[in-house]
Amino acid sequence: MNDNLSICVNYSPPSLHFLAYNQADQLVKILAMFNNAVIANKVREAILLNPEVSAQDILVTCSEGEVTLAGDVDTPKAQLEAERTATGVEGVVSVRNCLFVRSGRWPPPAEAETLPRSGE
């Protein structure tokens, strides 16, 4: 009977170790999500502060420091400027530029008249 008692006292269930590992893993995931949100917010702020870019239709997401810009802008210059601005933000590893120029906004009417038309 004493042998059974010593076995029970010395037994440590492996599930406790698994729980501790699981909690640490969840904490790492939460911190990564928080860090991604901070980077995305910094990129949004930098784009908003850039006078050459209208940021109202730009969506910024971040995963492991990789920023994706989606939405539309008025000009090709604004498209490139948004990417350049995002690249300069601390914590950004790379930028995926999925922005497109709004149809009907580019080129401006005055320039459109001087551009060659297709088939000419």
* Segment 73-88, tens digit of pLDDT: 988 999 999 999 999 9
pLDDT exceeds cutoff 60 at 37: yes
Structure-model confidence comparison of residues 14 and 74, the more confident one: 74
pLDDT exceeds cutoff 90 at 119: no
Q: Could you check whether the bond before residue 107 is cis, i.e. omega within 30 degrees of 0?
A: yes
Residue 17's contacts (CB-CB under 8 Å, 6 or more residues apart) are: none
pLDDT exceeds cutoff 60 at 24: yes
CA-based torsion, 41, 33, 96, 115: positive or negative? negative
Which structure tokens are listed for 48?
A: 């908003």
Structure-model confidence comparison of residues 120 and 102, the more confident one: 102
pLDDT, mean of residues 108-116 = 56
pLDDT exceeds cutoff 60 at 63: yes
Q: What is the pTM of this model?
A: 0.65
CB 40, CB 62: distance < 8 Å: yes
Domains located in the chain, CATH noted:
15-112 (3.30.300)
Amino acid present at 41: N
